[in-house]
Structure 1
């Protein structure tokens, strides 16, 4: 009987010791955490819209004279320097006309030389009263007429030279061939488009802004443009045109002039236009916290606030539901759930629970 009682006491003692050991294991160490003291930051309501680059100096190039297209020297997408040849016409007829007018000028100049010689001879005789006034005036008139013929022939030669030059179509500025609208061995007329040519040194971006915010967009407003082809770089721009609207459309065209040129940008490239909207002075002061400070569960979005305890330098993690606004460059905008000067834990949310003791690390 005594032995049985001892065994029972030993078992009871072992159970008590096991129970005490479990309690000790459940006691977790105070967890060190990084934190952020909540303050009100100036935030901008930035909206993003898709845009496409286009040339501010786009032109449809055409010949000033008609004829048979002999050669097209470019293809769509080619980058062309100012003065480079775009296309040529068969200039045979224009060359013949030039040669004829050149011969006419030489003939007129020969007649002028003869008329001048005759005039000078008669003039000297007239001074000495050796010829009549009528004879003098006749020769003088012939000399003046020959001079007029030379001027006319020179004008005709200049015109013929221009016509000959017009059979060569050249790039008026540095640019890119957007479209080719004619082929070799086709007949074309004066003013008929041959290519669409877009400048590359003066690019702009066209985007569309919805009607609910168009009133907050102004000419002269600075914007930022990003291109997926160059994720490491941002481009500055300024709004130059705000369309009054298009009938039956819910978006308004907006034109942004890029403030800097780049040899890597071409017309037709897609990008993202970031517009900072005008907001009232009170609404722009909002709470913004780091993205890592925000957690998400079935109940929604939450943060852990470090609340001071009665122990020195010890805080208690308090789980707090929050309402998120827009994602800003510095983190999430908090619409509700936090107040200024509260301390938010910014890392290790998966190790926290409501009521856990924490210690703030030096950030």
Structure 2
């Protein structure tokens, strides 16, 4: 009895194995299932990808300036909204106060000297009248002329000194006005802090005040000399940030520098690539963007009608680009010549004809001559 049971089990197992092998062969014979598409004529555009940095469109940055004075007090806090002309901070400069006192003394001294000379001139003219009664008008004028000329010369010099001290006073008053730091824009206080002794003299000192208008943002990047020929002011730009996935902003080129950016290191070595700064004004809601964010600026440079395929249909192993076309149930490798890439589309110049079934997103084991099943 046991022997018959074992024989039955063996027969059943053999049948199952044969069925499995048959099914496997049928599946394998069909090959992997693939999705296909056909080449289409569409309007595409070439995109120039330029790395950029988000900046405030309007800002005011104030650094410590020991030559103007030391910070006496900050009158604003971070996050505070300020109006143009508002006093943000006050400086103190004891040396400037001393110069003002010295200037006051110099002005007073010059005025006293002029007054004394005027008195001497008056006395001399009175003397001339008295002398005229004795020796005649012409003789009296002749005798006192040298002394009068000397006094008039001294008065001219004294007036020049007074004018000079007056100019010095104007300069001092202007410097005193600079002791009050005022806002040059309507904006928000982004930073407000007193400098420490290390940062106030260092080459990379932090600003004591940073005012910005958050409503407007710009993005700035660099263009090669070749790329500057493709773009112009007013061109539309799409801006994307890796920090904020799934969101993009519209922009417009507002400025392309006429003179290239140069660094001191590049000037010394003579090997610096020529790059021209470009500025893009960002429109729309920019609340999620922050100054300093790194972005990619997509600038549309060339629009035309072309035969295109999805970019996922084209393969490139470093030799020549190619696609797989389904012919007689098999994948046939076909070399192609490509043009510009526009988003998810790529221009096909040669290699694919209308009506041919091109495999998109094929399996990793896709090879030339492999049997495939089209979805």
The TM-score bracket by the shorter chain reads 0.5 to 0.7
Determine if contact 1:203/1:261 at 8 Å carries over to the other structure: no
Look up the match of 1:257: 281
Aligned pairs (5 A) from 1:342-353: 342-353=356-367
Look up the match of 1:86: 88
Determine if contact 1:289/1:334 at 8 Å carries over to the other structure: no
Question: How big is each residue's C-alpha offset from its partner over 1:167-221, in whole Å with a ceiling of 9 and x where there is no partner?
Answer: 585684223546868679x9xxxxxx96343322222111111111212212111
CA distance in 2, matches of 1:334, 1:356: 24
CA distance in 1, matches of 2:318, 2:73: 70
Look up the match of 2:326: 306
| Distance change in 2, residues 1:38/1:167 (3 Å) | closer
Look up the match of 1:237: 251
Taking only aligned residues, the RMSD between alpha carbons, in angstroms, comes to 4.2
* Higher share in helix: 2
Question: How big is each residue's C-alpha offset from its partner over 1:200-249, in whole Å with a ceiling of 9 and x where there is no partner?
Answer: 22221111111112122121111011122212211111111122232876
| Distance change in 2, residues 1:231/1:74 (3 Å) | farther
SS across alignment from 1:278: strand
Q: TM-score, with normalisation over the residues of structure 2?
A: 0.54
SS across alignment from 1:34: strand
Question: How big is each residue's C-alpha offset from its partner over 1:105-157, in whole Å with a ceiling of 9 and x where there is no partner?
Answer: xxxxxxxxxxxxxxxxxxxxxxxxxxxxxxxxxxxxxxxxxxxxxxxxxxxxx
Name which of 310, 317, 322 aligns with 2:331.
317
CA distance in 2, matches of 1:233, 1:169: 37
CA distance in 2, matches of 1:349, 1:30: 11
SS across alignment from 1:214: helix
Look up the match of 2:134: none
Deviation (angstroms), 1:352 = 4.1
Instruction: Say whether residues 1:200 and 2:202 are aligned partners.
Output: no
CA distance in 2, matches of 1:67, 1:29: 85
Name which of 310, 314, 322 aligns with 1:289.
310
Look up the match of 2:228: 214
Q: Report the number of matched residues.
A: 248
Q: TM-score, with normalisation over the residues of structure 1?
A: 0.55
Aligned pairs (5 A) from 1:347-362: 347-361=361-375
| Distance change in 2, residues 1:252/1:49 (3 Å) | same
